[in-house]
Amino acid sequence: MKIIRIHNELLGTYGDRGNADVLAYRAGLAGISATVVDISYRDGIPHDGDIYLLGGAEDAAQILSCNALSGGSLHGAVEKGAVVLAICAGFQILGKSFYANGEEQRGLGLLNITTVPGTQRYVGDIKIHSDLLGIDLTGFENHGGKTLLGAGAQSFGSVVVGHGNGETGVDGAISGNIFGTYLHGPVLARNPEFADLLLSRAHGSPVKVIDPLADHYAALRRSVVK
Ligand code: GLN
């Protein structure tokens, strides 16, 4: 399995690079060999990846990353059914438009979402409930943008604690195999069930990961964000 970590030098501010490591580790626990490939913003995006990852960033880096992706290289992979996980700035980049450095920027249009300036900066612990996974997930958020879902974009979860997309009571968006969320953490380290869902989507069938720490993760989630 090939895991593509996109522009970590730009989208690495919040430690989301760990999502790639969690995926590779858990793939290994399930007997699937996986490699993580780092792609710089100076390079083209390969089309043969199974999972593509984008992380959070500050505004200037977010614009640079979006511009580098605007040639459409990610669209080819998505058309082939690749899985995409995008966090915060990465999530906003996948949408139709977002604001950075005080100006509206054109996004990649892979998700039917738009991000506008929020009424505050949304900072702190966050807990959401995912119907898809049937569990609560936790993380932390730190963003100024407020994201609105358009037709065909389903939310990733409902907000239990925190802000998520803004004042709408939901977090993130899902469309096919594309997942966007505001949860840093890294989200897959704190919520390994989500990692296993992404691995299963990429594998094309359920991936069984035997994880001796599963109960520990669940207890951690219950205790840290109330
Ligand atoms: N720059 C974006 C915002 O503030 C994203 C921030 C982030 O990725 N944490 O909304």
With CA atoms as reference, report the closest residue to 7 among 42, 50, 51: 42
Tokens 């109330």 correspond to 226
pLDDT at site 220:
81
Q: What pLDDT is recorded for position 123?
A: 97
> Which atom of ligand 1 is the closest one to the Cα of 118?
10
Q: How many Å lie between the centroid of ligand 1 and the Cα of residue 144?
A: 6
pLDDT at 48: 95
Residue 141 alpha carbon, nearest atom of ligand 1: 9
Q: How far is the CA of 211 from the centre of ligand 1 (A)?
A: 32
- Which segments of the chain have a pLDDT < 50? none
| Mutational test site, ligand 1, from 6, 58, 120, max ligand atoms within 8 Å of CB | 58
Any catalytic annotation for residue 7? no
CA distance 5 to 27: 16
Q: Which pLDDT value is given to residue 103?
A: 97
Report the run of H or E that residue 120 belongs to, with start and end: strand 113-130
Amino acid 71: pLDDT = 85
pLDDT at position 224 is 76
pLDDT at 210: 85
Task: Quote the pLDDT of residue 212.
Answer: 83
Q: What is residue 183's predicted lDDT score, i.e. its pLDDT? A: 98
Among this protein's residues, is 184 annotated catalytic? yes
The length of the chain in residues reads: 226
**How confident is the model at residue 187, as a pLDDT?**
97
- Looking at residue 196, its pLDDT comes to 97
Q: How far is the CA of 67 from the centre of ligand 1 (A)?
A: 16
CA pseudo-torsion sign 122, 126, 127, 133:
positive
